[in-house]
Amino acid sequence: MRRRIDDSVANPNRKGRLTLEERARLAIERENQDMAPPEGDRWSNWVDAGHGPEPRPEWVITEQGACDHELGVLKTGKEADVFLLRRVFPDTGAEVTMAAKRYRSNEHRNFQRDAGYLEGRRLRRTRDMRAIEGRTSFGMNLIAQQWAIAEFGALSELWQAGVPVPYPVQLYGTELLMEFIGEADGTAAPRLAQMRPDPDELLDLWEQLVAALLALAERGQTHGDLSPYNLLVHHGRLVLIDLPQVVDVVVNPKGREYMTRDVHNVAKWFLARGLPERFADPEALLEMLASEARLI
């Protein structure tokens, strides 16, 4: 005889008596509604997050009663998307706009670049390393966490060292909240690639870039994926962004290769905009950086 299919399984949305699973789901939904913030899309998760370095900028909001508002997408990428988020503390009216970088869930994630950058970074647990190397679902989630942790750590260290990077506010899971580089109305600072500076501005930006690269080299590091598209210019100030892959040029066997690529990528842009080669000489800059990083 053909087995009779239970109506509750065939049609879980039927009217009538609720199943235990449906009752549990509705209870969670009611609880979430009761716990929703008075305004905004979510409560601030500052208490449960990892925090940026001290002394913190005065604009950082740490109160538990703060609410976060989603304002839209700033940038999409292969590994992560960046959103505009405003944190408000209703009791005082204090508010701040931040950039929220969220590494994608594993069904959408496409970490094309990680193999080379992870050279010299080895997890202690061999099970984790096997999962990463095998690109299992668990391994892909670990990679997302590694990138988020790596970028948060790099930003924290570089900000403390005075390198022009956004201040890292907090890390919660695979979401990194950081200083928004732009205007109070939510307009993001332009990328260097979008700029058409006059000769004086061009030279000033180049000198800022050289100083930032020297500060990295002094730490034995290079950006690892530097281009005019991950350099922002805010009121004349150059800011480095997108730093999950910052490379230790001494430990990484391809460190010198990454440093060379970084230098040539940016020097090419400055030369194309008219900066004389006596200033933007990539080989001279590379030699200076390699010496600073003690590679020669």
Q: Which residues contact 125 (CB under 8 A, 6 or more apart)?
A: none
CB 205 within 8 A of CB 269: no
Give the model's pLDDT for residue 177: 98
Residues whose CB is less than 8 angstroms from the CB of residue 133 and which lie 6 or more positions away in sequence, other chains included? 139
Distance separating alpha carbons of residues 1 and 116, to the nearest angstrom? 60
% of the chain residues with pLDDT over 70: 74
Walk along the chain (296 residues) and give the pLDDT tens digit of each residue: 343 434 433 444 444 556 666 666 655 555 555 566 766 789 999 999 999 999 999 999 999 899 999 999 999 988 899 999 999 999 999 999 999 999 986 544 444 455 555 555 555 556 555 645 555 555 566 777 888 999 999 999 999 999 999 999 999 989 999 999 999 899 999 999 999 999 999 999 999 999 999 999 999 999 999 999 999 999 999 999 999 989 999 999 999 999 999 999 999 999 999 999 999 999 999 999 999 999 98
β-partners of residue 98 are 85, 179
**Cα separation of 271 and 202, whole Å?**
10
25-76 pLDDT per residue, tens: 655 555 555 566 766 789 999 999 999 999 999 999 999 899 999 999 999 9
The pTM is what? 0.80
Judge whether 197 and 237 are in contact, CB under 8 Å: no
How far is residue 281's CA from residue 291's CA, in Å, rounded to a whole number? 16
**Largest pairwise CA distance in the chain:** 89
Each residue of 223-257: b (16+ CB within 10 Å) or e?
bbbbbbbbbbbeeeebbbbbbbbbbbbeebebbbe
Terminal-residue alpha carbon distance, the chain? 82
Decide: 167 and 160 in contact? Cβ < 8 Å: no
Q: At what angle do helices 282-292 and 199-218 cross, to 10 degrees?
A: 30
Q: Give the tens place of pLDDT for each residue, 120-154.
A: 555 555 655 564 555 555 556 677 788 899 999 99
